[in-house]
A and B are shown apart, each in its own frame.
Chain A
């Protein structure tokens, strides 16, 4: 059975908006981080399915790059979150509003 690329796209957009919504309403830095990952992988999914549908390898190549960069980003991001947690004993980002104008 061949599933139409449109379904993958729909799934990706659903995942993306779940991620975006989570990012906007959750306060826990760790959860927000996971939401970002969700959005990122939603985009990866679109790239892969578009590449497949258009018979173009570039889509998959791009995803590999994104995965590598995302792995690095996760390392840095988690390190920051751990550092903040150690200092503030909280993971709520609303506590971190010192940069307000």
Chain B
């Protein structure tokens, strides 16, 4: 079976190439179906390839495709192990559903086929990242994913804000990539190779704590860029300028998990550095809380979800920083399900509301859109951590493992708990504002349920959100056994042994979530002027939250403005006069020289003959007087 694993990457890549070159000859839905078939094929192969891992104990193999840069251990090779299989299944599975949804959502777009070409290219890049057998190939996928993100955020590039958002995402990610690249250089300096097997087997014996800390932290800088952690999260909310399926696929379910995957993959290095663990876990917890406070106060339906994504990614980073890798990956999976569902549901709502994204102008949609409403309700409860839905098990596992680690981690646990409360609040606020209460849209909108092609993925994702958490309950640790071979020899932080303590912790987090839900329901089920009063009552804090702490302004003043200034100086004070001046100067010098010597060329034969004669006389004189 491992002979065919490369097809997982090759299928969507082929689909992308075909659609890029021949897509415009295909009728509208056909290119969407072609792209979906490509990623569906990848999913099937991933599933077949993952079968041996379900039996447990299988370690996986490295599949060598061809030599790329053998001298530095960077070949095109696939490490097919449980972790890779797990990620590949999520990316292709959720990806397939989102591809299908997009067939309905992108209906009528002029560049329909181009959208699917890019979507397939994204899937291929993400799968390259996941299946890579060394850091160099991972980096290749990492950069390609960044490119696809840029292409898809700016898909509607005639809209100025979309073009700006795409640029912002790309540039902020580059900052993270810089850390990543330095980390790769350190890895190479320490081990002389970039291959996973070479690095992870020797890490424990050869790496000093200092180097391990440096590598782990620099890798985390890269991860913070991709996975939208403080301070590099600012690109993600703006990324919502892209079409909603893109937000669902790239900026919620898959691409942003690349950072989590990177850290989990590098567990053998992180293991050696308690300092890096503290930094990563703390950043994660703070991001979770920070983004949750912003999510509470947003009016744009997609922005709420964007900040919610940052917050949930914070949970995952907290988990991997706590070395509770399985818990982090578990949350990654459940989050992929319910966040994809939330985004697609939001897309369905936006579609029905004729591109209105302001939640204050929605309301009462439940009666009009039953399927979207019910599935969104399930997702809302799942992310709020209500048992027995997905988010309950995974979030609880993270919080319990954090609690078990003790010491500083107890503080992080409290932050996580507060975030759980806020999660319940903002998600319920969103649900109530969109689906309940009186309609606040104008007469002409006339929302109705989306077509079947959009609702079927919603239903599938709702089922997955509901039962996805059952894959790793304290009673049956299926996922943990599945992933265990990938983390062999690495310490994994587990939840407390004591059942009583576990139940108490679970009750606490459920209570926190429930408190948020109830508070939001009470505050927002009433008329518009009541909750406007409620929000005004929380000024000025609410205003600061609503403006997202004005971080964009801060970055604009402290980083972007000086950067522009420096670029201006470099361009108009240095590049133009000095570099261009030197180049132009060379040209001008020879022009002058030419103008000055031009009169010699009179065109009269006798002048040439005279010069010739004069020259000859000079040469003869020189020879006579004593030259050669």
Contacts and interface: CB of A to CB of B under 8 A. Distances in A.
B609 A98 contact: no
B606 A99 contact: no
The contact size tier of chain B is 10 to 19
A101 B601 contact: yes
Contacts, number: 34
Nearest to B604: A97
A99 B603 CA distance: 5
A15 to B, nearest CB: 15
A25 B606 contact: yes
Interface string B593-615: 00001111111111001100100
Number of chain A interface residues as a range: 10 to 19
B613 A99 contact: no
B603 A96 contact: yes
B613 to A, nearest CB: 6
Interface in B418-454: none
Contact of B609 (A23, A94, A97, A99): A23
A7 to B, nearest CB: 21
A27 B605 CA distance: 9
Contact of A97 (B597, B599, B603): B603
A93 interface: yes
B604 A101 contact: no
Interface in B370-413: none
Interface in A54-101: 93-94, 96-101
A3 interface: no
Contact of A100 (B597, B601, B609, B610): B601
A42 interface: no
B598 A20 contact: no
Contacts of A94: 604
Interface string B121-154: 0000000000000000000000000000000000
B606 A23 contact: yes
B610 A24 contact: yes
B605 A96 contact: yes
A45 interface: no
A101 B600 contact: yes
Interface in A35-64: none
Contacts of A23: 606, 609
A99 B608 CA distance: 12
A12 interface: no
A69 B598 CA distance: 33
Contacts of B606: 23-25, 27, 93
A24 B599 contact: no
A97 B602 CA distance: 7
Interface of A: 20, 23-25, 27, 32, 93-94, 96-101
Interface of B: 597-606, 609-610, 613
21 contacts: A23-B606, A23-B609, A24-B606, A24-B609, A24-B613, A25-B606, A93-B604, A93-B605, A93-B606, A94-B604, A96-B603, A97-B602, A97-B603, A99-B601, A99-B603, A100-B601, A100-B604, A101-B597, A101-B601, A101-B602, A101-B603
